[in-house]
Amino acid sequence: TREQAQLKASVVEEDTEEWQKDSSFAGLERVGGVDLSYVKGDDTNACASLVVLSYPALEVLYEDCRMVAVSAPYVAGFLAFREVPFLVEALQRLEQEKPELKPQVLLVDGNGLLHPRGFGVACHLGVLTDLPCIGVAKNLLQVDGLVKDELHKEQIRSLRRGGDSFPLTGTSGAVLGMVSCRDYDNSSKPLYVSVGHRVCLETALRLVKSCCRYRVPEPIRQVQGAGEGEGRP
């Protein structure tokens, strides 16, 4: 808890890059996606994956998938301590092998500020790598009074009727993220976007939307596909 609090103090919740300030993200050329996925029925063997896509074409430039042995125990709210070291190693390999392909921003399959202590996987990875990071989750983490109740479901349904997003405001009054829903293939399943590091929430949401060909943004869709291709059931 102490280490998490110390790292959280380094989180930057604002845009820090010139490309972030441009409406079309001029200057952004490489977007990364990271994921750690477990072999079905096995919580110790996992595939740590990193992909880098061109932007705005969203074509795969680099792919790294490694089977890893996860030894740290799972503790709710501290998942990053179990998973992030393997993602950092993947980024370090990229920097050694193909430094010219280093991503300018990372989309993380998980949460950022939308976390019990405001420091999810996307924040943790961002602080350790000093890269802009965005959390993109498929399920609502119920913290600070946020619940998947009928009101929440109705707000999601309203997105299909013309809206595009709404803020996740906790009982503390803090906006912890945004809900975005793309009506693709008759699916109304939302995405929960939150700040990780060195990006503001508005920019994070705009970038995630610009990376979506389908429901899930392409960097995360591709990185999860890469993990499956590595032999994960």
Confidence of residue 159 (pLDDT cuts 50, 70, 90): confident
- The pTM of the full predicted model, rounded to 2 decimals, is 0.92
Q: Which range has the worst mean pLDDT, 111-120, 152-161, 199-208? A: 152-161
What DSSP character marks residue 187? B
Answer yes or no: CATH 3.40.50.300 is held by domain 2-230.
no
Q: If you search the block for the tokens 């952004």, which residue do you land on?
A: 28
What residues have CB less than 8 Å from 163, skipping those under 6 apart?
A: none
pLDDT tens-digit profile of 95-137?
A: 999 999 999 999 999 999 999 888 999 999 999 999 999 999 9
Least Cα distance to 177 among 213, 210, 141, 148 occurs for 141
Is cis: bond before 219, omega within 30 of 0?
A: no
Q: How far apart are CA 110 and CA 92, in angstroms?
A: 21
Q: If you search the block for the tokens 């503390």, which residue do you land on?
A: 172
Q: Which range has the worst mean pLDDT, 1-15, 18-32, 69-83, 214-228? A: 69-83
pLDDT tens-digit profile of 165-195?
A: 899 999 999 999 999 876 555 556 889 999 9
Dihedral of alpha carbons 123, 140, 106, 62, sign: positive
- Phi and psi at 219, nearest 5°, equal -60, -40
